[in-house]
Amino acid sequence: MPQELAAPPAINPTAEEAYWRDAYRREPYYRAEFSYEDYSPAYRVGYTGPVRRHGEFDELEHALKDDFQRVRGRSRLRWEEAREATRAAWRRVTKGEHPH
């Protein structure tokens, strides 16, 4: 099936939240001054993005940045700091990649 016709991945937000809450400190972009609550909105945008948006991360980055800005709440991350967390969560649900 061509990529553009592929069905969006099925995600379990509760499972994704639990995975990232456990894994975020082991990610290469992790910075100790930020808590899980700082990273959480970036992960949420990443793991829900493939269900809400059609395309690849790089071509949708501007829209994902806007999504992050809307849901970031009290997160202290700027998009530049949140981008790789969002990309990691996107990759995990779209490619079944489990980096750890």
Query: In angstroms, rounded to a whole number, what is the distance separating the alpha carbons of residues 29 and 51?
Result: 24
Lowest mean pLDDT among 6-15, 25-34, 62-71, 73-82: 6-15
| pTM to 2 decimal places | 0.87
Q: How confident is the model at residue 95 (pLDDT cuts 50, 70, 90)?
A: confident
Locus of tokens 């995600």? 11
pLDDT, position 96: 73
Instruction: Give the chain as a 3 state SS string.
Output: CCHHHCCCCCCCHHHHHHHHHHHHHHCCCCCCCCCHHHHHHHHHHHHHHHHHCCCCHHHHHHHHHHHHHHHCCCCCCCHHHHHHHHHHHHHHHHHCCCCC
Considering only residues 97 and 70, tell me which one the structure prediction assigns the higher pLDDT. 70
Query: In angstroms, rounded to a whole number, what is the distance separating the alpha carbons of residues 41 and 62?
Result: 16
Q: What is the pLDDT of residues 59-83, one digit of tens each?
A: 999 999 999 999 999 999 999 999 9
